[in-house]
Structure 1
Amino acid sequence: MHPFLEKVDNDSEAYFVHHNKAEEMLPMHQHEKHQLSYIEGGVAFLNTSEKSYFLPARHFLWIPAGTKHNVTSRTSVKMVHNFYIPTSLFPSKHVLSKTGGIYPVTNLLMEMIYYTEEWFGEITKKDAEEFEFLNAFRNVVLHVAKIPFPLVLPTTDNENLRVVLKYIHDNIDQPLYLNDLAKRFGYSTRSFSRMFQKNMDTSFLQYVKLTRIVRSMEKLLKTDQSVSEIAYSCGYNSLSSFSYTFQQVAHISPAEFRKQNL
């Protein structure tokens, strides 16, 4: 086990708090505590064996205990705030005990995160003031984690399909049609479509649409490109088509998404 994970799981009844200017570069791993992470000043992804969750600014990622995962970032980050919560201090029937996701950070939650910036390591009942503060923090998380951020990309262990997914990501600015990709990778259109649906639990068209929106969100947060420029660079042939699809998926316009998250 990685030395850092040994520290996290050392005392099953203790909170563990870790603030760092760079993420712990860990491969797929798991631990015995629930994890809340807030990544300040960057764009990141929570990857599990089944899904990839896009983490925009002003959102926290939630990872239930025992979930295999890693976190990747395509940008430099200012600070990563990690909180590891004992399962005994969390309602076992709450959706967060079983399901990972991305949730908005309220002003109150952000102030509580910043309040703990000087705390590092285990917080036990002996640390009465800090322990009670983290209990309150836990209760705020339970209250605000109602509606997860809607954008989740499915993934797969199927090596043949992973090659296809990489091609999609590498060529998202180009037209991507089911027939063309099936032919490129040596499948009939029907078998290619079935393979996609069986392994990804979504259609080829839906996956491409979600990937385009994820890429556009990254660009909205990382670049100074106009919304129109981003639309074309993500494979859309009109601004109206992009704006409609973005609103449909994210329930907010591209301009408002950029404004709220910067």
Structure 2
Amino acid sequence: MLTTTEFLVELENIDSRPETMFVQQHSEENYPLHQHQKTQLVYVRSGVAYLITPSKTYFLPARHYVLVPPRLAHRVLFHSPQHIITGLCFAEARDTDHPFFGKLGIYPVTDLLYEMLRYTESWYGHYGPEQYEAYLFLLNLKLVLPRISHHPLPLALPTTEDPRLVPVLRYIYEHIGELLELSGLARHFGFSPRSLSRLFQECLSISFGQYLKLRRMMAAMELMLKTRQTISEIAYAVGYNSLASFSNTFYKLVGQRPSQFAAREQ
């Protein structure tokens, strides 16, 4: 793992040669928000991670990759002690306005992409046209992405730095398995229910109820990847007393049943 100083030096190095592909094999944990001039692919090889941007937090499970468009500030935060990522920064190619490469997306890693990424595991540094075979391989990897990546993971949690709401969101995260109601939270933090409801809309552009559902689904997905708990145990652990209610909410937000997601991630 690089120190923050070493990471910032590498960040400058990546963008110093617009014509090259850059391959890196390390974690971005605890590094500050940063951006690249190039489109970046970050592949989580193991562990559970979150992609943080100035406005949202995205769930990033193992065996998925995130496509980060040029000049989008981001950082990766891991909630597991063991993690490995592969980062590919593609040569600059006016990707900002491209319908696929111009927007952030989190996608499952197909068998084809898994083998291609595995082939690069020993690579590090710049690969330009002068390294013809490696450069062509990485270019083809990039070009195949829109053809194999059709179903982005939909969960994104709005974030804020508003000091009035930050402790409330932290409390929700730390007590996700408990009964959490707007009136009780408002009373605990010295708000009226109406004021706290307005604060959620003002800072996050979603309601308290919507935020709580998203937070609970992210917690559930993390438990599916990190533990051997049953779906019923996980539902209870994230605050649901009804397995049917949990399953239906999960399906509406994620697009598949909890059992389907858990089976695919084994």
Calculate the TM-score normalised by the size of structure 1. 0.94
Q: For residues 84 and 156 of structure 2, what CA distance do their matches in structure 1 show?
A: 24
> What is the 5 A alignment of 1:25-64?
25-64=30-69
Aligned equivalent of 1:73, options 72, 75, 78: 78
One-letter code of the match for 1:179? S
C-alpha deviation, 1:29, in angstroms: 1.3
Q: Size of the alignment, in residue pairs?
A: 260
- What is the 5 A alignment of 1:212-223? 212-223=216-227
1:246 counterpart SS class: helix
Residue identity (%):
42
Residues 24 and 217 of structure 1: CA distance in aligned 2, closer, same or farther (over 3 Å):
closer
Q: Retained in 1: the 8 A contact 2:50–2:76?
A: yes
* CA–CA separation in structure 2 for the residues paired with 1:78 and 1:47: 17
**Partner Cα separation in structure 1 for residue 118 and residue 40 of structure 2:** 17
Matches of residues 230-241 of structure 1 in structure 2 within 5 Å? 230-241=234-245
SS at match of 2:220: helix
In the alignment, is the contact (CA less than 8 A) between 2:18 and 2:91 conserved in 1? yes
Once the 2 structures are TM-superposed, how far is the Cα of residue 147 of structure 1 from its aligned partner? 3.0
TM-score between the two structures when normalised by the length of structure 2:
0.93
Does the 8 Å contact 1:53/1:101 carry over to 2?
Answer: no
Root-mean-square deviation (CA), in Å?
1.6
Secondary structure of residue in 1 paired with 2:40:
strand
Question: What does residue range 138-153 of structure 1 map to in structure 2 within 5 Å?
Answer: 138-153=142-157
Amino acid aligned to 1:71: V
Q: Which amino acid aligns with 1:42?
A: G
Structure 2 letter corresponding to 1:158 = D
**More off after superposition, 70-79 vs 133-142:** 70-79
Alpha-carbon distance, 1:144 to partner: 2.7
Stretch moving more, 66-75 or 247-256: 247-256
* Range that drifts further, 251-260 or 90-99: 90-99
Q: Does structure 1 residue 169 correspond to structure 2 residue 204? A: no
SS at match of 1:159: coil
Deviation digits for residues 121-148 of structure 1, max 9, x if unmatched?
A: 0000101111111110111112233332
Query: Which of 211, 236, 258 is the matching residue for 2:215?
Result: 211
Could you tell me which runs of 5 or more consecutive residues in structure 1 were left unpaired when the two chains were aligned.
none
